[in-house]
Amino acid sequence: MIFKCLLILPMILLTGLLSYGQNKPNIVRSSIRYDVDSLPVLKADFTQDTMYLKYFISSSWQDVYNTFHYKGGYEALLAYCDSLYFKRESDIDEEPNGMALYTILFDENLKIKDVRILKRLTYNNSKYDYDTLVKRILWSTEGKWEKEDSNDHCKWYLYMGYFKVR
């Protein structure tokens, strides 16, 4: 019995020292976001100090970057979207007063390839298909985006934002 304790105790101590005495590699945590149709859209891989975003394209995860912006800035994007958004006559008595969290996927030339609604906040599509309206407005922003660095040659770009549904 004493012989077994003498063998087991050093093994336990050495295992503890070896596992905590070395610098461990960054631990990766992953989080996947689905759209309102329950299809995978975004995957975020977290290390100790960095987050990597991937978009689900053609049944595989592709790296995406956010090194571009709307010409004129965020306020110009809001003004443009508000100018195209219309209030339907049937909504006069009933305001949805909600927001849609959306993503826009661009290729290397900033051509829109995909628009997805990730989450509906305080509205649904039971009386009117607001998702289609939001997507149509966002698709119409094509050609109004620019890269921050013209030498940037990433394959995929991602924009994420909120659209106010009134």
3-state secondary structure of 56: strand
pLDDT of residue 90: 56
DSSP-assigned beta bridge partners for residue 63:
54
Tokens of residue 163, six digits: 């659209």
Rounded CA gap, 3 and 91, in Å? 83
Per-residue CA distances from 81 to 86, 123, 130 (Å): 10, 18, 14
What string of pLDDT tens digits covers the 166 residues of the chain? 554 444 554 555 445 544 554 555 566 788 899 999 999 999 988 887 788 889 999 889 999 998 899 999 999 999 998 888 766 555 555 666 788 899 999 999 999 999 999 998 888 888 788 889 899 999 999 999 999 888 888 899 999 999 888 7
pLDDT of residue 76: 94
pLDDT of residue 153: 82
The H-assigned helical ranges of 22-161 are 74-84, 130-139
Rounded CA gap, 57 and 92, in Å? 39
The region, left, alpha or beta by phi > 0 then psi within -120 to 50, assigned to residue 16 is alpha
pLDDT of residue 17: 45
